[in-house]
Amino acid sequence: MAAEAFATATTKPPGALTVDDYVNGVIGGDRAMLGRTITVIESRSRRHQQLAQDILVKLLPHTGKAHRIGITGVPGAGKSTFIEAFGCGLIKQGLKVAVLAVDPTSPVSGGSILGDKTRMADLAVQDNAFIRPSPSGGTLGGVTRTTRQTMVVCDAAGYDVILVETVGAGQSEVAVSDMTDIFLVIMLPGAGDELQGIKKGVLEIADMIVVNKADGGNEVRAKQAAVHYRNALHIIQPKTPTWSPPVLLCSSTQNIGIDAIWGKLVEHKDKLSATGEFQKRRQEQRVKAMWSQLQDRVMTDIKNHHKVGEELPGLKADLLSGNLTVTRAVDRILQLFHED
């Protein structure tokens, strides 16, 4: 009967689907319904956003089991290769893996890259893998809203591990760190100053550093890089006294060190769960997400406000000509917004 219900729901046009159709499809592991549910979540339509909240409320009791891992890295570090090798290794252990890539929205065209399945071809064809790019909409609030809610859906769908990849562009790293259980930074063995090109802020939020491509002629340089990163981490205050960020070596192409990384990730979860910090971190993240989404919503409402839209060209002109200060322009925009 349940299988028939899923089949019926899948063949319905999107407008005819009920909240229960979405919920039952996700919980039942129906991949088509999982994809449709995420599409509703990513929509900016008010109707779809309300529908998404109705779905999420019913899915929440079925969540809480997934291990949420944030991953970033410097350009060329091999994030996609690592995620593919790591994900395939977990699937061989009998786990279900979801990969959510925080995809930057172009400020020029408004489009997103959305090319993750082509970068992880082997992982994409696995029955127990689900890969989904999550367009940011150009705001950190967009990252938090869509990716966080997509994680809820994947958790309810029975995925054991959820990998959230960020392109490593600006504050998206902090946003992803604030919605995952552990934040992993992929680095390269460099040919000089190993810390060149990495922001101190990334080290401060890193729970683990992995030096990738540690094979062949790179092996010695990788070990040297690991020493540099360990020294750098010693002068940074750890996020918790329970956990000191380790530095590990791996080769994604040779499948070296992948199991050790998973072992450390499990160790991190076990240690923080024992002290209660694991659940506390998740609770604090929900509050941060509330403020982030509120900021995103208020900014959207202000930009779409009809009175603000009417006066904005004049305010911009006065600002550019020097007849108006930035603070006075902000005061005027807020005054127009609050008048209604």
pLDDT digits (tens, 9 = 90+) for 246-305: 999 999 999 999 999 999 999 999 999 999 999 999 999 989 888 888 888 899 899 999
Is residue 308 classed as helix, strand or coil in its secondary structure?
Answer: helix
Q: What is the pLDDT of residue 327?
A: 96
| Superfamily designation of domain 64-275 | P-loop containing nucleotide triphosphate hydrolases (3.40.50.300)
SS (H, E, C) 182-234: EEEEEECCCCCCCCCCCCHHHHHHCCEEEECCCCHHHHHHHHHHHHHHHHHHH
* Strands (DSSP E) found in 53-114: 67-73, 97-103
Q: What is the pLDDT of residue 308?
A: 93
Q: Mean pLDDT throughout 89-108? A: 80
Question: 59: closest CA among 9, 25, 8?
Answer: 25
Q: What is the pLDDT of residue 32?
A: 92
CATH class label, 1-62: mainly alpha
Whether residue 196 has pLDDT greater than 80: no
Of 143 and 228, the structure prediction assigns the larger pLDDT to 228
Whether residue 188 has pLDDT greater than 60: yes
Q: What is the pLDDT of residue 107?
A: 38
Amino acid at 141: G
Whether residue 109 has pLDDT greater than 50: no
Banded pLDDT at 102 (limits 50, 70, 90)? confident
Q: What is the pLDDT of residue 111?
A: 41
Q: What is the pLDDT of residue 21?
A: 95
pLDDT tens, residue by residue, 147-174: 899 999 999 999 999 999 886 555 678 8
Q: What is the pLDDT of residue 110?
A: 41
The rounded percent of the chain whose pLDDT value lies above 70 is 83
Q: What is the pLDDT of residue 1?
A: 46
Q: Mean pLDDT throughout 14-22? A: 86
* Dist. CA 148–CA 38, nearest whole Å: 11
Q: What is the pLDDT of residue 73?
A: 83
Whether residue 87 has pLDDT greater than 60: yes
Domain residue ranges of the chain, discontinuous segments joined by +: 1-62, 64-275, 289-338
Q: Mean pLDDT throughout 67-87? A: 90
Q: What is the pLDDT of residue 74?
A: 75
Q: What is the pLDDT of residue 4?
A: 54
* Dist. CA 13–CA 269, nearest whole Å: 41
- Helix, strand, coil shares, percent, the chain, to 5: 60, 15, 30
Whether residue 213 has pLDDT greater than 50: yes
Place of tokens 């019926």: 8
Tokens of 258: 């992948």
Tokens of 230: 């360990």
Place of tokens 């839209």: 309
Q: What is the pLDDT of residue 8?
A: 54
Q: What is the pLDDT of residue 233?
A: 86
What are the backbone angles phi and psi of residue 25, rounded to the nearest 5°? -65, -45
pLDDT tens, residue by residue, 112-158: 444 455 578 889 899 999 998 866 555 554 465 788 999 999 999 99
Mean pLDDT of all residues in the chain? 85
Q: What is the pLDDT of residue 112?
A: 42
Q: At what angle do helices 31-42 and 19-27 cross, to 10 degrees?
A: 130
